[in-house]
Amino acid sequence: MSASSPRQAVDAHREAAAEKPVRYIIQNLERAYGVPENKRASDPLDMLVSVILSQATSDVNSQRTFAALKRRFPTWDKALRARESTIAATIKSGGLAQQKAKVIKSLLRQIKAQHGTLDLSFLHEMTADEAIAYLSQFRGAGPKTIACTLLFACRKDVFPLDTHIFRVLRRVGLIPQKCSDARAHEIMNELVPPGKFYSFHVNLIRHGRKICRPREPLCTRCPIVEYCDYGQTQV
């Protein structure tokens, strides 16, 4: 018998994870943390740049950096005409400024060349799969960046995973311990019920920060411990 490939192993795990009562996990998290509503719908291009700026820094810091960028360049056309070094100097406080400035400049240049205008509002009319395929062409737009843009700005059912979410989902057993970023996003996009993507995303982050911490998770206080592979070994 030949050994299974990594892809086959992940697919087998996904089938097993699909049997877990995801809807009850979501329900228990909502009882513990509330039912968050997405009130942040915004311009898709603004959101895409904002998410790029959020990489490898805190939420507060990335918000300040985005605000500084918008003050310096009130329109994206002005940012496109600016030197890359000027953009980098403007976003310096957010870290990785040279790298992010290059990504933003390249992104704006490609959008302008393709559409003649710096506007991604057409993403609202695309299906989630079409929008993911479109954004995937841009350097620096990975699965999380794309998912955050589409979930927050376009309110599409696309599931972003951050560090907290990866940790919780691995402990629960919804994604394998060893799984690529792209595959993890693919698995969760199939498992999360329609209309629950935003709630599950936000509450998993809350849960990861408050209860399912990297060290010394509070399993005895966990509202989803009965569904958690890791938690069942701790209580």
CATH of the domain at 227: 1.10.1670.10
Long-range contacts of 225-231 (CB under 8 A, 24+ apart): 227/20, 227/21, 227/24, 227/25, 227/28, 227/172, 228/171, 228/172, 228/173, 229/171, 229/172, 229/173, 230/170, 230/171, 230/172, 230/173, 231/171, 231/172
Does residue 144 carry a catalytic annotation? yes
What stretch of H or E contains 146? helix 143-148
Other C-beta atoms closer than 10 Å to the C-beta of 234 total 13
Q: Write down the pTM of the prediction.
A: 0.88
CATH number, domain of 131, equals 1.10.340.30
Give the active site residue among 20, 70, 105, 144.
Answer: 144
Q: Which residues 6+ apart lie within 8 Å of 101 measured at CB?
A: 84, 85, 87, 88, 91
Per-residue pLDDT of the chain (235 residues; tens, 9 = 90+): 445 555 555 555 455 555 568 999 999 999 999 999 998 668 999 999 999 999 988 889 999 999 999 999 999 999 999 999 999 999 999 999 999 999 999 999 999 999 999 999 999 999 999 999 999 999 889 999 999 999 999 999 999 999 999 999 999 999 999 999 999 999 999 999 999 999 999 999 999 999 999 999 999 999 999 999 999 998 7
From the list 229, 193, 183, the residue with the least C-alpha distance to 30 is 193
Tokens at 146, concatenated: 């794309």
Is 215 a member of any domain?
Answer: yes
Domain around 52: 44-153
Residue at a domain's end among 138, 153, 168: 153
Do residues 109 and 103 make contact, with C-beta atoms less than 8 angstroms apart?
no
Domain tally for the chain?
A: 2
Encode pLDDT of 125-176 as tens digits: 999 999 999 999 998 899 999 999 999 999 999 999 999 999 999 999 999 9
